[in-house]
Amino acid sequence: MADWAEYARVMNNSAGVVAADGATGTPEKSFCSECGRAFSREEMIQYGNSWVCAGCKPIFVQKLKEGMTVSGAMEYAGFWLRFGAKVIDWIIVGAVNMILSFAAGLIMFPALSSPNSLAAVILPFILQLFQIAIAAAYTTWFLGKYAATPGKMACGIKVVTGDGDKVSYLRAFGRYFAEMISAIILCIGYIMAAFDEQKRALHDRICDTRVIRK
């Protein structure tokens, strides 16, 4: 019965924090999420919002390996969820680029049909760069502002740093180009997410990001 009371106290405090017993200088204590007993934080390991005592650490680690999700810990989004999000983003960016390319084509047409062969070589190249810029801006802006592109929002997933923080615009921008590497190597960089214990794609490893469920 004493254990149950302890457990109730743990459940009422998602962070598992116990106020130090009045006395100043007392080390901050937390409840072990396994056995429910209070320990000084120095004797414990933290995982997400959960604290685990040294005695319970082996059993806790074993549970993690078996796929237990810890409250407050990050729940990594799986390969197919990420793939679905990617398809939605491809369709959106593809549609935008198609419209812009069509408009650009109309503008460029006189130049392309002129005998000036230099324009015929350079203009498609510029258009290509323009399309990359659109895709980079789309990814950077949505990830930096909302932590998720529309595709990821639709799939209920988002991109965070390895510590679970919001990604900056700069990191989101860098991640876009790191993702190109994942794509260039026959998409092996994407497929890596299916085999990583934290479901990281190559670009997640490069940029220290994780894709998690909201």
Asked whether position 147 contacts Zn ion by CB under 5 A, the answer is: no
Question: Which CB atom, from 44 or from 192, has the smaller least distance to Zn ion?
Answer: 44
Report the nearest approach of Zn ion to the CB of residue 32 (Å): 3
Terminal alpha carbon distance of the chain:
36
What is the full DSSP assignment across the chain? -HHHHHHHHHHH-TT-EE---SSTTPPPEEE-TTT--EEEGGGEEEETTEEEETTTHHHHHHHHHTTPPPTTS--BPPHHHHHHHHHHHHHHHHHHHHHHHHHHHHHHHHHHHSS-HHHHHHHHHHHHHHHHHHHHHHHHHHHHHHSS-HHHHHTTEEEEETTSPBPPHHHHHHHHHHHHHHHHTTTHHHHGGGTSTT---HHHHHHTEEEEE-
32 lies in the site for Zn ion, by CB under 5 A: yes
Size of the site for Zn ion (CB under 5 A): 5
Measured from the CB atom, the residue of 53 and 85 that comes closer to Zn ion is 53
- Residue 59 CB, nearest approach to Zn ion (Å): 8
With respect to Zn ion, which residue has the nearer C-beta, 34 or 89? 34
Q: Which is nearer to Zn ion, 57 or 205 (CB)?
A: 57
Pick out residues in 89-118 that bind Zn ion (CB under 5 A): none
Q: Are 16 and 30 in contact (CB under 8 A)?
A: yes
Least distance from Zn ion to the Cβ atom of residue 44, Å = 8
Q: Give the Cα separation of 139 and 141 in Å (integer).
A: 6
Interaction of residue 35 with Zn ion, rule CB under 5 A? yes
If one asks whether residue 29 binds Zn ion (CB under 5 A), the answer comes out as no
> According to the binding rule CB under 5 A, does residue 148 interact with Zn ion?
no
Q: Which is nearer to Zn ion, 70 or 160 (by Cβ)?
A: 70
Q: Does 34 bind Zn ion (CB under 5 A)?
A: yes
Q: Where in 37-76 is the site for Zn ion (CB under 5 A)?
A: 53, 56
Q: Which is nearer to Zn ion, 53 or 178 (CB)?
A: 53
Instruction: Identify which range of 24-32, 82-90, 175-183, 198-206 contacts Zn ion by CB under 5 A.
Output: 24-32
In the complex, which residues of this chain contact Zn ion (CB under 5 A)?
Answer: 32, 34-35, 53, 56
